[in-house]
Amino acid sequence: MTTEKKYQVLSRREIEGMIAEGRNIFILDQYVIKADHWLQYHPGGYKAILHMVGRDATDEVTVLHSPEARQRMNHYRVGRIEGRWTNFIPPIQGGKFRPLPDDEDLENDDGPCDTASTETSSVLSSRDPSPVFDNAEATVRKRHGVSSASTSSVSSVDPDEDGMSYLDTITKEKTTLDLEKYPSLDFGTQDTIVAKYRDLHQHIKAEGLYQCNYGAYAIEVTRYSILFSLTFLFLHWGWYVSSAVCLGAFWHQLVFSAHDAGHMGITHDFHKDTVIGIIIADFFGGLSLGWWKMNHNVHHVVTNAPEHDPDIEHMPFLAVSHRLLQSLRSTYYDRVMEYDAVAKFTLRIQAYSYYILLLVGRLNLYRLSWDYLIMGRGPQKGPAWWHRWLEIAGQVVFWTWFGYGVMYKSIPNNWDRFVFFMISHMVTMPVHAQICLSHFAMSTSDLGPHESFPQKMLRTTMDIDCPQWLDFFHGGLQFQVIHHLYPRIPRHNLRRTQKLVQDFCNEVGIPYALYGFVDGNKQVVGTLAEVSRQAAILAKCQKVISENDELLHGHDH
């Protein structure tokens, strides 16, 4: 009989000091986890972990990992906490942490407490003061009776050096609207939401909704096989357009199962699902599953954060938030997303160019996949060390059968090859539209570190209402709200889970975003058009400021 190891109780101040020293600490089930040694091994990439530093990551870890993976995390425990944890802002997001002096008295450190003063001070002490939020903190914390200026009003904005105060005004307004629309961020309310969310998780498991429906996958495989066979039949007959359409439809459908495997939603075994996903994505689709995992895991923990979520970072071609007009630095790509001359032109027409860009979206996925594999951005050690080499083998196989066998050997001339290539890739456009549809029209506001995981997912994600017979076409992406709340639920069970999630939303008072396919697309295009208008107004602000500067300098002379 083994006794459970006893861990020292660590105060919030002690943990802050550890993070200040460069330790990657997060909270999991009241235990303090030091993830430093695991960063290089994490199959989902290290940046997803960095976004959890200083936070209670219990819900994110629970829904994104298998029970076996969670069990392995126990090896990285270095202490425990008592009481409720108050989140810091992670260093990767700009959080600032105070080193722990040797002579600091920790005996009188009572740790976090459930008071409004602690909630406010914990935000301000872990990052630099924000000119957007901190100067009007009392305003954005009100939930009722807040008057908002028109976002199209330029005269209400004080002149500044570059017109950024106009964008700051929009940020305040959108944040205020979210604070009014969604439940309060006080600890009591958020704790209630989390408790009910975890109860729902247990209910979902008890209902058997984590059990994969392999009969449904038999139907999927049959559909894939038919499309793939027709591709080569039509190619043999010289019907190149028909062949290209079937190949594009094959890729479109195949990506849904790669998504399932990447979330361990098929066998729930890490290695088995990884191999399935690599065979689908790399060998048959030419895309890197490892790149997708690294990208997608970050997306799941910082959904719709303009400076952190790679799924909405498409500058200079698209911007779904006015904040991207401020040349934000992407923490994922580790570069500044410049709002330069190219962006000023392309964003002006983005509501019109959006679908055109989606037609060639797959080409960008090739680029990102090659960058990930060639540069070795995945884990080099640990359980996923061999993934890169299997994926490189998959890329060789893909470009052998598709690039050489289909494009070069089976099609007689360059024009037909070009047409075949473009049609086969453009047919996959709906999957890119479906991915964008889930988030582009939803909130991109930062409500601070105390917003619960379930509320943030519901605030930044929408579902698409469609008849059941069309589920095969959407491939589970129409249930992105449910998927973001519980990513490992097999997609064929998402429709059954939807009613449970809707009941949960009604109980806790969080709006559930559900649109039809057409209305959802209208919302997305409307958001893109709104950012274009904001960019135009910003340009006018900057022009006025420039003219005023010239007048001032003229008077000086």
**DSSP labels for 305-321?**
-TTT-GGG-BTTTB-SS
Residue 101 pLDDT: 86
CA distances from 59 to 55, 127, 215, 269, 378 (A): 11, 24, 30, 20, 24
Q: Which residues contact 527 (CB under 8 A, 6 or more apart)?
A: 320, 440, 441
Smallest CA-to-CA distance from 437 within 402, 474, 400 is with 474
pLDDT at 52: 97
Nearest one of 385, 318, 402 to 353, comparing CA atoms: 318
Would you tell me the crossing angle of helices 429-437 and 517-556 to the nearest 10 degrees? Answer: 70
Judge whether 460 and 444 are in contact, CB under 8 Å.
Answer: yes
CB 477 within 8 Å of CB 435: yes
Residue type, 155: S
Based on the number of CB atoms within 10 Å of its own CB, is 171 exposed (0-12), middle (13-18) or buried (19 or more)? Answer: buried
Place of tokens 């799941």: 300
Grouping H, G, I as helix, E, B as strand and the rest as coil, residue 353 is helix
Distance CA 371, CA 75 (A): 33
Closest CA to 544 of 157, 131, 152: 157
Distance CA 556, CA 479 (A): 62
Task: Measure CA 332 to chain center.
Answer: 11
Question: Taking Cα atoms as reference points, which of 11, 159, 143 lies closest to residue 552?
Answer: 159
The pLDDT assigned to 555 comes to 56
Residue type, 126: S
C-alpha span between 22 and 24 (Å, rounded): 6
**pLDDT score of 105:** 64
What is the Cα–Cα distance from 365 to 238, expressed in whole angstroms? Answer: 29
pLDDT computed for residue 147 by the predictor: 35
**For residues 499 and 484, what is the distance between their CA atoms, to the nearest angstrom?**
15
Q: Are 193 and 508 in contact (CB under 8 A)?
A: yes
How confident is the prediction along the chain (557 residues), in pLDDT tens digits per residue? 456 788 999 999 999 999 999 999 999 999 999 999 999 889 889 999 999 999 999 999 999 999 888 899 999 999 999 999 999 999 999 999 999 887 666 655 544 433 333 443 344 444 444 434 444 333 333 333 333 333 333 334 444 556 678 889 999 999 999 999 999 999 999 999 999 999 999 999 999 999 999 999 999 999 999 999 999 999 999 999 999 999 999 999 999 999 999 999 999 999 999 999 999 999 999 999 999 999 999 999 999 999 999 999 999 999 999 999 999 999 999 999 999 999 999 999 999 999 999 999 999 999 999 999 999 998 888 889 999 999 999 999 999 999 999 999 999 999 999 999 999 999 999 999 999 999 999 999 999 999 999 999 999 999 999 999 999 999 999 999 999 999 999 999 999 999 999 999 999 999 999 999 999 999 999 999 999 999 999 988 888 877 776 666 555 55
Question: Among 154, 542, 522, 526, which Cα is nearest to 344's?
Answer: 542
Q: For residue 372, give Cα distances in angstroms to 277, 292, 379.
A: 16, 9, 11
Omega prior to 316 cis, within 30 of 0 = yes
26: β partners: 33
- Put the strands of the sheet holding 77-80 in their side by side order: 25-28, 31-34, 77-80
d(CA 361, CA 63): 29
Q: Which two tokens stand for residue 511?
A: 């709006």
DSSP state of 178: H
Cβ(257)–Cβ(476) below 8 Å: no
Q: Judge whether 288 and 281 are in contact, CB under 8 Å.
A: yes
Q: What angle do CA 535, 537, 538 make, to 5 degrees?
A: 60
Q: Which residue has the tokens 């829904």?
A: 63
Alpha helices (H) in 95-186, listed in sequence order: 116-125, 137-141, 164-181
Task: At 501, list the tokens.
Answer: 């999630």
The CA angle 485-491-497, to the nearest 5 degrees, is: 55
CA distance 321 to 168: 12
User: Phi and psi for 439 in degrees, rounded to 5?
Assistant: -135, -30
CA atoms of 432 and 360, how far apart (whole Å):
10
